[in-house]
């Protein structure tokens, strides 16, 4: 179930990525159109983070290419922002939440300058959007996992770009915050921004996303969420390993899941 879209905002073409000759992504080929909230779904080790890193140009692919806005990523970095997985950094680093969010205000022209008043305002606004304004001056080592995740999200928001790639932004976040972040993302896509979100909870994925990219080393599906909700796709993505699977096939049989328009 792979649907290509006309005039794609992201085009991933025949991408193969390996670590030390061990292939992690095989011939991935899909396209995403503008203004979508896209879920990238797959089990642990499926290559979701690797896919985001390849799109961001952080890893050299073995073959294939990625085009964003019809350009190479290096030409349009100021139009894309990236939210890494929380575990990718050492949170004992001596910095406050605000310090981290301000990093999103980097610009090539002023790499040596101090941040302006506007930068600070935008940073505070971004923290506010993820309900973290009260923690602006808190040391990042003192934040909970979910709060650290939200600091990363705020840092990307502070970049004010058109395309966002987020690696597990909901990991460790409590249910009510997850809902408020989801509303924020929906609002952003309504404003024409495009957002790719790596997510591991299949049950909520069908509710959250307009479009799904289902992955397990190779690409299983790239299509509107409703079309991805077939037993075959889920079976191929998660294999027989998923204990949740029976509950989910039940859900699918009922076929009355609320899917957002």
Partner 1 sequence: MLETLKEFFSFTDANVTFVMIGSILIGASSAVVGCFSVLRKRALIGDVISHSVLPGICIAFLLFNSKNPFVLLGGAFLSGWLSIIWVDYIERNSNIKSDAAIGIVLSVFFGAGILILTVIQHSGNAAQSGLDHFIFGNIASMLRQDLYVLSGMSLFLLIIILLFYKPFVYISFDRNYAVSLGMPVRFYDFMLSSITVLAVTVGIQAVGVVLMSALLITPAVAARFLTSKLNYMLLIAALISSVCCIIGTFISYTAPSMPTGPWIIVVLMLLSMLAVFFSPSRGILINKWRQQKNYRKILEENVLKLLFQLCEKTGFKEQEWNISQMLDKRNMGEQQLKQTLRRLEKKGLVEKKSAEWTATVNGVIIGKRMVRLHRLWEVYLTQYLKLPSDHVHETAEAMEHILNPELEAQLETILNKPEFDPHNSKIPYQDE
Ligand X SMILES: Nc1ncnc2c1ncn2[C@@H]1O[C@H](COP(=O)(O)OP(=O)(O)O)[C@@H](O)[C@H]1O
Binding of ligand X by 104 (CB under 6 A): no
Helices 117-129, 145-158: crossing angle, 10 deg rounding = 130
* Residue where the block lists tokens 């350009």: 71
Name the residue among 71, 65, 68, 90 with its Cα closest to residue 81.
68
Secondary structure element (H or E) that encloses residue 83, with its range: strand 80-83
Can you say whether the dihedral through the CA atoms of 85, 57, 78, 110 is positive or negative?
positive
Kindly state whether residue 47 participates in binding ligand X, applying the rule CB under 6 A.
yes
Residues numbered 35 to 94 that lie near Mg ion (CB under 5 A) are: 49
Which residue's CB is nearer to partner 1, number 90 or number 191? 90
Identity of the residue, 21 or 44, whose beta carbon is nearer to Mg ion in the bound complex: 44
The values of phi and psi at residue 144, to 5°, are -75, 165
Q: How far is the CB of 93 from ligand X (least distance, A)?
A: 20
- Stretch of 5-13, 43-51, 88-96, 98-106 contacting ligand X, by CB under 6 A: 43-51
The count of residues interacting with ligand X (CB under 6 A) is 10
Query: How far apart are the C-alpha atoms of 182 and 91, rounded to whole Å?
Result: 25
Q: Kindly state the smallest distance separating residue 145's Cβ from ligand X, in Å.
A: 17
Report the nearest approach of Mg ion to the CB of residue 83 (Å): 12
Give contact residues for ligand X (rule: CB under 6 A): 19, 24, 42, 44-50
């Amino acid at each position: 179930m792979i649907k290509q879209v006309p005039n794609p905002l992201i085009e991933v073409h025949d991408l193969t990525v390996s670590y030390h000759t061990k292939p992690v992504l095989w011939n991935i080929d899909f396209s995403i159109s503008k203004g979508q909230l896209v879920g990238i779904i797959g089990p642990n080790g499926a290559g979701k983070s690797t896919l985001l890193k390849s799109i961001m140009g952080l890893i050299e692919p073995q073959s294939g290419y990625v085009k964003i806005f019809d350009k190479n990523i290096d030409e349009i970095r100021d139009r894309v922002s990236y939210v890494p997985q929380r575990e990718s950094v050492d949170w004992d680093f001596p910095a406050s939440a605000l310090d981290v969010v301000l990093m999103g205000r980097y610009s090539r022209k002023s790499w040596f300058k101090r941040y302006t008043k506007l930068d600070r305002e935008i940073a505070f606004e971004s923290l506010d959007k993820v309900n973290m304004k009260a923690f602006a001056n808190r040391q990042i080592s003192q934040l909970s996992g979910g709060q650290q995740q939200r600091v990363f999200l705020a840092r990307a928001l502070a970049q004010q770009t058109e395309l966002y790639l987020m690696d597990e932004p909901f990991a460790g976040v409590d249910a009510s915050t997850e809902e408020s972040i989801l509303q924020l993302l929906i609002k952003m896509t309504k404003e024409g921004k495009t957002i790719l979100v790596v997510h591991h909870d299949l049950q909520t994925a069908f509710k959250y996303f307009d479009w799904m990219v289902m992955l397990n080393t190779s690409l299983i599906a790239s299509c509107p969420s409703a079309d991805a909700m077939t037993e075959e796709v889920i079976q191929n993505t998660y294999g027989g390993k998923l204990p949740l699977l029976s509950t989910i096939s039940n859900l699918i049989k009922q076929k009355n899941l609320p899917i957002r328009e």
